[in-house]
Amino acid sequence: MESLMLLNYKSILFESDQPIWKKVDKNIRLNEFTKEELFYYSKKHKDYKKKTFARKDSIILKFGKGEDDIMCFNVSNFILEIINHEKLGSGLKLIWNTYCFEVFGQIEQWNRDLKKYCIQYNLKTKYTLGKKLGNGSFADVYLLIHKESKQEFAVKIYDKSSTKFDLTCVKQELDILRQMDHPFTSQIIETYESSKYLYLIQEFYKYGSLYDYLLQTQITEDDAIKTTYKLLEALVNIHSKGVLHRDIKPENILLRKPNLEDIVISDFGLAVYYNENGKYNHQRAGTPGSIAPEILKDQNYDYKVDVYGLGIVLYQMLTSKQSPFYNQNYQKMLSENQEGFIDYSLMNSSSQTIDLLTKMLDPDPSARYTVIQAKQDQVFKKYNRQTIIIKRKKIVQDKTASSFSPRSNSIFFSPSPKQTPPIIISSPKNCSQFNKRILGIPLRSKNDDRRQFFSPNSFINNGIPQNSTRKHYQMSTNQTRKSIYQGINSYKPAF
């Protein structure tokens, strides 16, 4: 009965009716798809017929009689349901508006893989809601416990009726998270929806973030370099998908273990797709003190803004949590961040490491390292690669996913159209002026530090510019948070 009712239910993620099956692109790589012989319901014959299908990620192919007779459709944001047939056994039903697609056979792998891309509706039958981990203006985060395995997850709950719910932002964040497939990037496990709420199930990081780790542990130069290399590997993968993270900082680097061995870049709430003209709906975005100078100058920018953010993270690891841009006056901090010059003379690090820093933190983006250039820097050559990178484990969809990425502490933005060009790998010769004084930014101790900034090139569709008067940005060891999921006050979520 519930399944029949669902056919009349319109998901908030549905778009207008459009052709489901389309002719495949001639450049499609069929060898990357896994073929399956499955039964499907044929409306033409009004019966179940056996047919060859193939699938890769969220794309499903069906093969006709001729070699070129191949059709495809993308099941992202389709409603996914397990069904049973008295003769054919278990099957999958995929629903989009009024369209319904059913297949029967060996569908176990399909079901496991499609959970990442589709929407489900029976959350309460599979999970038990635990304690609140954090809250925000856009979403609240709870601990979620799988009833059978007792495994813990974090679920991000959106109230669809809230005036602060930004569907455009949620769709883009979902789309980006679903593309993440690197061991050092967070991913999403499942998405559920009810008539009132949208649920994003992600990995629960009980060991906290690099921010928490820095409060308790002094990192050696070797550990800082090894950690930076892992994060560069993650950024190479992120950029290869045409995505700019735009908010690289210690709080968004999370730990799967109580050390730096297994880390991930998380929180894609401010991420956007690369635009070749360097302009975005919200040009200014990030956390004060970690922002690349060209963003604060309202200039066009590209992937190198993430290299700058990672350079700040490396600086903080090497200086025992000190910030190059800290200033109690918020406007002065932004001004210093915009100038972007750092005094490296007080750093107790090797000349090779400081050279890497100057090239990652060059205020001139044309001279700054790309992520590929940074990864190839000589400072990493003295290490055996296996001492830097953990053995890449196969990511099991039901166990590994994205961390909580709160949009509650970011300002409103609308994404740009998706564009995925190759990574920019060329750059003029570096001309870092490391002898000039720069600013420094503290690790974020206030949840409203991370934001997008109003500027002439920003088009804020969902709110007004936030008050630029901020205080108490200095990090204090007495401000240790109980959870990495703690955010801002908001409406009370429901299960």
Active site residues: 247
* Helix 304-318 and helix 221-240, axial crossing angle in degrees, nearest 10: 160
- Dihedrals phi, psi of 159, to nearest 5 degrees: -90, 110
- Give the separation between CA 68 and CA 21, rounded to whole angstroms: 15
147: helix, coil or strand? Answer: coil
How far is residue 9 from each of residues 92, 98, 195, 272, measured CA to CA in Å? 18, 9, 9, 30
- Sequence-distant (6+) residues with CB within 8 A of 72 are 21, 22, 23, 24, 28, 59, 60, 61, 62
**156 known member of a binding site:** yes
- Give the separation between CA 367 and CA 378, rounded to whole angstroms: 17
- Sequence-distant (6+) residues with CB within 8 A of 8 are none
Rg (CA), the chain: 24
- Give the separation between CA 20 and CA 37, rounded to whole angstroms: 21
237: helix, coil or strand? Answer: helix
Burial class (CB in 10 A: 0-12, 13-18, 19+), 194: middle
Region of 454 on the Ramachandran plot (φ > 0 left; ψ -120 to 50 alpha; else beta): beta
Burial class (CB in 10 A: 0-12, 13-18, 19+), 161: exposed
Dihedral of CA atoms 123, 126, 128, 129 in degrees, nearest 10, equals -20
Q: Give the count of alpha carbons within 13 A of 373, CB side only.
A: 22
- Give the separation between CA 26 and CA 81, rounded to whole angstroms: 31
From the annotation, which residues make up the binding site for ATP? 156
From the annotation, which residues make up the binding site? 156
